[in-house]
């Protein structure tokens, strides 16, 4: 066995050391997400996803009846619906015992899988950081930031496919890098499984698979004999191949062909320059506005895996570039740039390395700055979760039309739907580009007055658009009383109040148990440092390669 393999065996988290840590991370994150969960039922894209799961459980078929003899099939891969089947089965079981509570049961059970996926992402994230030699303290803090200070928190509370994309992309990306460090069969199988799952969340990620394969081949070409490299590729393909079955089957059921992606003709005519700028820096959709802690992602670190940023460009770059050409790059209706949410765990890795560095060096001022930025990220996500995003989007559209006029949609590239066009520039430019309708500030305005119980006349006086116009824009009034605070506990009133208290206590116990396991593990590590030996730094990687072409 080569030097690199020996070092990597030592650098991998030992199974007898880390189960408590992983269990603590998962339980804490999972139950805290449920404790802070939404009271919004599956909505918009989420409803399309969840309807398939409900239809399968209650009617025994995938297609949704929308008219006699007419069935609807959503455009997304079927896996994003099938993962919610356990939610629906639990709902059906509870509703048989308590039929009157079914509407509340549906809401609560629909949020289990998103919370599960977010918690799983955090476990996989910390596992990878430990391999890099990050201390448990820094790994734990950065995992909390990932779960509650980035967009993952908001999408971990609702039924949308984006959280599944973030989880599976991170699984594929992290296992790909671990395979480069330790090229063996089990690693190739794990990469194949994650690759299959990733494409089953969105077919577009086949571009990431191509880029990832190219990156791995380029990294291992000079280290391994071509036969061993071919065997690794074969094992990965064997693990990924079964996941093509649901893809082809669902495509055939809904379209009569194996390879149709389920979407119609979409306009891809945005400038790449403006698309990239908008995805990362625009007022209403910029990645760094919605995830401010990611500004620390570009601090160089010797602990980053070799050619890290090339790996990011190879796997995420093609998808980001394609979305930058997409005319509806904002991905509405949503919170932040949901089409690139899959980048968030990846960019959080160098953030964790930076945090580990400043914690070890005890640079108090830098730590204070980092803490302030992380707290800002937490505030942003609390605003996003405090009010369901759809309400403010509709409010901003109504205000824009009254203030600036009804747009001429006749030249739009997407078919009109009723009195507005869901993905068109004409109806989405307000909250995407105008400071007057910036969603984070808009949610803060709604929450502030909702908590105070202010009526419309009081709330409109300091509405964000009043900085630019003296108009009250009262057409938005009908959206004002709707949002309230988007927290499940507030829906458990009257005869369901006791059930709400029981659920609250159950979630709180889960958080407490997880936090106890998590804290106990960290307390046993010396000064919060990693109990896992560190891997070689990139400059020493050359000395840690296999001794011969066969990697023996």
pLDDT given for residue 322 in this prediction: 95
Q: What is the pLDDT of residue 173?
A: 98
CA distance 282 to 425: 14
Q: Six-digit token pair at 67? A: 């008219």
Determine the pLDDT at residue 198: 98
pLDDT score of 15 more than 80 = no
Looking at the predicted structure, is the pLDDT value of residue 157 above 70? yes
Of the pLDDT bands very low, low, confident and very high (cuts 50, 70, 90), residue 4 is very low
Nearest-angstrom CA–CA distance, 514 and 500: 21
Contact 518, 510 (CB under 8 A): no
Please say if the pLDDT value at position 17 is more than 80: no
* Mean pLDDT, range 392-405, rounded to an integer: 92
pLDDT score of 418 more than 90: no
| 111 pLDDT above the threshold of 70 | yes
Q: Report residue 482's pLDDT band, with 50, 70 and 90 as the boundaries.
A: confident
Contact at 8 Å (CB) between 384 and 154? Answer: yes
Grade residue 319 by pLDDT with cuts at 50, 70 and 90.
very high
Average pLDDT over residues 216-231: 92
DSSP class of 63: S
Confidence of residue 545 (pLDDT cuts 50, 70, 90): very low
Q: Are 516 and 65 in contact (CB under 8 A)?
A: no
Euclidean distance between CA atoms 242 and 451, whole angstroms: 50
Closest by alpha carbon to 387, among 106, 49, 154? 154
Worst-scoring range by mean pLDDT, 422-431, 518-527, 533-542? 533-542
**pLDDT, tens digit (0-9, with 9 covering 90-100), for 76-99:** 899 999 999 999 999 999 999 999
- Quote the CA–CA distance of 157 and 29 in Å, as a whole number: 12
What is the Rg, in whole angstroms, of the alpha carbon atoms belonging to the chain?
A: 24
Residue 307 has pLDDT above 90, yes or no: yes
Mean pLDDT of 384-412: 89
- Give the pLDDT confidence of 249-283 residue by residue, as tens digits: 888 888 777 776 666 667 788 999 999 999 999 98
Structure tokens at 238: 């064997």
**What are phi and psi for residue 71, nearest 5 degrees?**
-115, 145
Angle, helices 19-35/497-524, rounded to nearest 10 degrees = 150
Which of helix, strand or coil describes residue 216? helix
Section 500-529 average pLDDT: 86
Query: Hey, where are the domains in the chain?
Result: 3-38+112-260+269-385, 45-110, 389-405+422-485
Say what the pLDDT of residue 347 is.
98
- The pLDDT confidence band at residue 416, using thresholds 50, 70 and 90, is low
Could you identify the residue written with the tokens 């980053």?
Answer: 304
Residue 538 has pLDDT above 90, yes or no: no
Q: What angle do CA 261, 267, 269 make, to 5 degrees?
A: 130
d(CA 220, CA 179): 10
pLDDT band at 10 (very low <50, low <70, confident <90, very high): very low
Percent of the chain at pLDDT > 90 equals 69
Map 301-352 to HEC letters.
CCCCCCCHHHHHHHHCHHHHHHHHHCCCCCCCCCCCCHHHCCHHHHHHHHHH
pTM value surpassing 0.75: yes
pLDDT in tens, 37-58: 999 999 889 999 999 999 999 9
pLDDT computed for residue 235 by the predictor:
97
- Averaged pLDDT for residues 231-257: 90
Position 201 pLDDT exceeds 70: yes
What average pLDDT does range 525-535 have in this prediction?
47
Res. 403: pLDDT tops 90: yes
Cis peptide before 333, with omega less than 30 degrees from 0? yes
Cβ-based neighbours of 523, under 8 Å, separated by 6 or more: none
pLDDT in tens, 351-372: 999 999 999 988 899 999 999 9
Residue 2: pLDDT over 60: no
Residue 320 confidence (pLDDT) above 80: yes
**Are 229 and 550 a contacting pair, CB within 8 Å?**
no
**What is the average pLDDT across 382-391?**
94
d(CA 486, CA 388): 6
Supply 495's token pair. 């005869």
How many whole angstroms from its chain centre is CA 78?
Answer: 18
φ, ψ at 151 (rounded to 5°): -60, -20
Mean pLDDT, residues 296-306: 91
Where b means 16+ CB within 10 Å and e means fewer, 221-259 reads eebbeeebbeebbebbeebbeebeeebeebbeebeeeee
The whole-number pLDDT of residue 59 equals: 92
Tell me the pLDDT tens digit for each residue of 326-347: 988 988 889 999 999 999 999 9
The predicted structure's pLDDT at residue 265: 63
With 0-12 / 13-18 / 19 or more C-beta atoms within 10 angstroms meaning exposed / middle / buried, residue 531 is: middle
Mean pLDDT for the stretch of residues 424-430 = 84
The residue to which tokens 């089947």 are assigned: 85
Q: What is the pLDDT of residue 38?
A: 96
520 pLDDT higher than 90:
no
pLDDT of 243 above 70: yes
Q: Assess whether pLDDT exceeds 70 at residue 526.
A: no
Instruction: Give yes or no for residue 551 having a pLDDT over 60.
Output: no
What pLDDT score was predicted for residue 180? 95
Q: Determine the pLDDT at residue 150.
A: 98
CA nearest to 388, candidates 464, 456, 482: 482
């Amino acid at each position: 066995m080569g030097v690199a393999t020996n070092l990597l065996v030592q650098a991998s988290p030992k199974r007898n050391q880390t189960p408590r840590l992983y269990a603590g991370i998962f339980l804490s994150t999972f139950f805290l997400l449920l404790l802070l969960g939404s009271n919004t039922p599956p909505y918009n894209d989420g409803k399309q996803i969840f309807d398939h799961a409900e239809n399968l459980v209650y009617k025994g078929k995938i297609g949704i009846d929308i008219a006699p003899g007419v069935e609807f099939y959503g455009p997304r891969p079927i896996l994003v619906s099938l993962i919610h089947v356990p939610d629906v089965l639990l709902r059906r079981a509870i509703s048989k015992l308590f039929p009157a509570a079914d509407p509340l049961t549906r809401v609560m059970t629909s949020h289990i899988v998103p919370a599960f996926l977010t918690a799983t992402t955090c476990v996989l994230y910390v596992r990878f950081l430990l391999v890099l030699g990050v201390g448990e303290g820094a790994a734990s803090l950065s995992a909390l930031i990932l779960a509650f200070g980035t967009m993952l928190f908001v999408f971990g509370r609702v039924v949308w496919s984006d959280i599944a994309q973030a989880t599976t992309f991170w699984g594929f990306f992290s296992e790909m890098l671990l395979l480069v460090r330790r090229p063996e069969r089990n690693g190739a199988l794990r990469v194949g499984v994650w690759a299959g799952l990733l494409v089953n969340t969105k077919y577009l990620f086949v571009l990431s698979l191509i880029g990832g394969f190219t990156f791995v081949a380029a990294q291992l070409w000079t280290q391994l004999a071509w036969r061993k490299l071919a065997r690794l590729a074969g094992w990965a393909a064997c693990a990924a191949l079964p996941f093509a079955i649901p893809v082809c089957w669902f495509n055939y059921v809904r379209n009569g062909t194996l390879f149709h992606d389920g979407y119609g003709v979409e306009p891809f005519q945005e400038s790449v320059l403006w698309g990239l700028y908008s995805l990362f820096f625009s007022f209403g959709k910029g990645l760094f506005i919605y995830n401010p802690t990611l500004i620390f992602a570009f601090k160089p670190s010797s602990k980053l895996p070799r050619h890290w940023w090339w790996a990011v460009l190879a796997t995420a770059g093609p998808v980001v570039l394609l979305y930058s050409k997409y005319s509806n790059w904002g991905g509405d209706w949503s919170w932040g740039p949901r089409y690139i949410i899959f980048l968030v765990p990846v960019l959080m890795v160098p953030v964790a390395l930076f945090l580990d560095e400043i914690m070890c060096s005890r640079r108090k001022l830098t730590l204070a700055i980092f803490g302030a930025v992380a707290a800002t990220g937490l505030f942003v996500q609390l605003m996003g979760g405090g009010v369901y995003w759809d309400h403010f989007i509709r409010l901003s559209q109504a205000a824009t039309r009254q203030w600036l006029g009804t747009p001429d949609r006749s030249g739009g590239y997407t078919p009109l739907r009723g009195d507005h066009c869901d993905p068109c520039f004409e109806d989405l430019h307000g909250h995407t580009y105008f400071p007057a309708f910036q969603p984070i500030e808009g949610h803060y305005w709604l929450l502030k007055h909702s908590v105070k119980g202010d009526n419309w006349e009081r709330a409109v006086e300091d509405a964000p658009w009043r900085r630019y116009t003296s108009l009250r824009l009262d057409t938005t009034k009908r959206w004002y009383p709707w949002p309230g605070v988007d927290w499940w506990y507030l829906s458990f009133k009257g005869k369901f109040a006791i059930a709400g208290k029981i659920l609250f206590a159950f979630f709180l116990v889960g958080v407490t148990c997880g936090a106890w396991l998590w804290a106990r593990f960290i307390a046993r590590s010396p000064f919060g440092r990693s109990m896992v030996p560190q891997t070689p730094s990139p400059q020493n990687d050359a000395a840690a390669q296999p001794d011969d072409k066969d990697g023996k």
